[in-house]
Protein backbone atom coordinates (compact mmCIF):
# COMPACT_ATOMS: atom_id res chain seq x y z
CA UNK A 1 0.00 0.00 0.00
CA UNK A 2 1.29 3.45 -0.89
CA UNK A 3 -1.56 5.99 -0.91
CA UNK A 4 -4.36 7.00 1.47
CA UNK A 5 -7.25 8.88 -0.12
CA UNK A 6 -8.91 11.78 1.68
CA UNK A 7 -12.68 12.22 1.56
CA UNK A 8 -12.57 14.99 -1.05
CA UNK A 9 -10.62 12.75 -3.43
CA UNK A 10 -13.07 9.86 -3.06
CA UNK A 11 -15.90 12.29 -3.82
CA UNK A 12 -13.97 13.50 -6.88
CA UNK A 13 -13.66 9.88 -8.03
CA UNK A 14 -17.40 9.38 -7.56
CA UNK A 15 -18.02 12.57 -9.56
CA UNK A 16 -15.70 11.26 -12.30
CA UNK A 17 -13.23 14.14 -12.05
CA UNK A 18 -10.93 13.65 -15.08
CA UNK A 19 -7.73 14.77 -13.29
CA UNK A 20 -8.26 12.37 -10.41
CA UNK A 21 -9.27 9.51 -12.72
CA UNK A 22 -6.13 10.09 -14.81
CA UNK A 23 -3.97 9.94 -11.67
CA UNK A 24 -5.72 6.78 -10.52
CA UNK A 25 -4.86 5.05 -13.79
CA UNK A 26 -1.16 5.57 -13.07
CA UNK A 27 -1.36 3.39 -9.95
CA UNK A 28 -2.38 -0.11 -8.97
CA UNK A 29 -5.63 -0.34 -7.00
CA UNK A 30 -3.78 -2.50 -4.45
CA UNK A 31 -1.57 0.51 -3.65
CA UNK A 32 -4.51 2.71 -2.68
CA UNK A 33 -6.61 2.65 0.48
CA UNK A 34 -9.08 4.76 2.40
CA UNK A 35 -9.10 5.25 6.14
CA UNK A 36 -12.00 3.97 8.20
CA UNK A 37 -12.28 7.64 9.24
CA UNK A 38 -12.84 8.63 5.59
CA UNK A 39 -15.31 5.76 5.26
CA UNK A 40 -17.19 7.17 8.26
CA UNK A 41 -17.31 10.63 6.64
CA UNK A 42 -18.60 9.13 3.38
CA UNK A 43 -21.30 7.09 5.14
CA UNK A 44 -22.40 10.19 7.05
CA UNK A 45 -22.50 12.17 3.82
CA UNK A 46 -24.53 9.49 2.05
CA UNK A 47 -27.15 9.37 4.80
CA UNK A 48 -27.42 13.14 4.79
CA UNK A 49 -27.90 13.43 1.05
CA UNK A 50 -30.94 13.49 -1.21
CA UNK A 51 -29.79 10.24 -2.86
CA UNK A 52 -29.04 8.00 0.10
CA UNK A 53 -29.33 4.63 -1.64
CA UNK A 54 -27.44 5.73 -4.77
CA UNK A 55 -24.61 7.16 -2.70
CA UNK A 56 -24.40 4.07 -0.49
CA UNK A 57 -24.33 1.85 -3.58
CA UNK A 58 -21.51 3.93 -5.07
CA UNK A 59 -19.63 3.69 -1.80
CA UNK A 60 -19.93 -0.09 -1.68
CA UNK A 61 -18.56 -0.33 -5.24
CA UNK A 62 -15.31 1.42 -4.35
CA UNK A 63 -12.41 -0.96 -5.04
CA UNK A 64 -10.15 0.33 -2.27
CA UNK A 65 -9.12 -1.38 0.95
CA UNK A 66 -10.55 0.28 4.05
CA UNK A 67 -7.81 0.58 6.67
CA UNK A 68 -9.04 0.23 10.25
CA UNK A 69 -7.89 2.99 12.59
CA UNK A 70 -5.65 1.41 15.21
CA UNK A 71 -3.55 2.10 18.27
CA UNK A 72 -0.45 3.33 16.39
CA UNK A 73 -2.64 5.60 14.27
CA UNK A 74 -4.24 7.04 17.42
CA UNK A 75 -0.85 7.64 19.00
CA UNK A 76 0.43 9.52 15.95
CA UNK A 77 -2.79 11.56 15.77
CA UNK A 78 -2.35 12.50 19.43
CA UNK A 79 1.17 13.75 18.70
CA UNK A 80 -0.11 15.79 15.75
CA UNK A 81 -2.92 17.34 17.76
CA UNK A 82 -0.55 18.25 20.60
CA UNK A 83 2.02 19.74 18.21
CA UNK A 84 -0.55 21.83 16.33
CA UNK A 85 -2.21 23.00 19.55
CA UNK A 86 1.16 24.14 20.87
CA UNK A 87 1.79 26.05 17.63
CA UNK A 88 -1.72 27.54 17.68
CA UNK A 89 -2.52 26.03 14.27
CA UNK A 90 -4.98 23.19 14.92
CA UNK A 91 -6.79 21.32 12.17
CA UNK A 92 -10.11 19.49 12.30
CA UNK A 93 -10.41 16.40 14.46
CA UNK A 94 -11.10 14.02 11.57
CA UNK A 95 -8.24 15.48 9.53
CA UNK A 96 -5.97 14.95 12.54
CA UNK A 97 -6.97 11.28 12.68
CA UNK A 98 -6.48 10.82 8.93
CA UNK A 99 -3.06 12.50 9.03
CA UNK A 100 -2.06 10.37 12.01
CA UNK A 101 -2.99 7.22 10.16
CA UNK A 102 -1.13 8.27 7.01
CA UNK A 103 2.05 8.98 9.00
CA UNK A 104 1.73 5.86 11.15
CA UNK A 105 1.24 3.62 8.12
CA UNK A 106 3.91 5.35 6.02
CA UNK A 107 1.38 6.36 3.35
CA UNK A 108 1.12 9.39 1.09
CA UNK A 109 -2.14 11.22 1.74
CA UNK A 110 -3.97 12.22 -1.44
CA UNK A 111 -6.03 15.33 -0.66
CA UNK A 112 -7.26 18.62 -2.02
CA UNK A 113 -7.26 20.06 1.50
CA UNK A 114 -3.71 21.37 1.42
CA UNK A 115 -4.44 24.37 3.71
CA UNK A 116 -5.11 22.00 6.60
CA UNK A 117 -2.65 19.21 5.94
CA UNK A 118 0.39 21.35 5.15
CA UNK A 119 0.52 22.23 8.86
CA UNK A 120 1.25 18.62 9.81
CA UNK A 121 4.96 17.88 10.24
CA UNK A 122 6.28 14.76 8.50
CA UNK A 123 3.08 14.19 6.50
CA UNK A 124 3.66 13.21 2.88
CA UNK A 125 0.79 14.42 0.72
CA UNK A 126 -0.16 15.06 -2.90
CA UNK A 127 -3.03 16.92 -4.52
CA UNK A 128 -4.55 15.08 -7.49
CA UNK A 129 -7.09 17.85 -8.16
- Cβ atoms 100, 48 nearer than 8 A: no
Model pLDDT for residues 2-54, shown as the tens digit of each residue: 999 999 999 999 999 999 999 999 999 999 999 999 999 999 999 999 999 99
Pairing of strands 3-5, 125-126: unpaired
The residue extents of the domains of the chain are 3-126
* pLDDT above 90 (res 1): no
Model pLDDT for residues 113-122, shown as the tens digit of each residue: 999 999 999 9
Full DSSP string of 27-83 = S-GGGEEEEHHHHHHHHHHHHTSS-HHHHHHHHHT--SEEEPP-HHHHHHHHHHHHH
Domain 3-126 has CATH 3.40.605.10: no
Is the whole-model pTM more than 0.85?
Answer: yes
Q: Hey, how many other C-beta atoms are within 10 angstroms of the C-beta on 24?
A: 21
Amino acid sequence: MKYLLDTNIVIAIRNKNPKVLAELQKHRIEDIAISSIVYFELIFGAYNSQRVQDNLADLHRLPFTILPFGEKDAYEAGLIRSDLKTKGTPIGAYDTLIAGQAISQGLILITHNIKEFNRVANLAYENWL
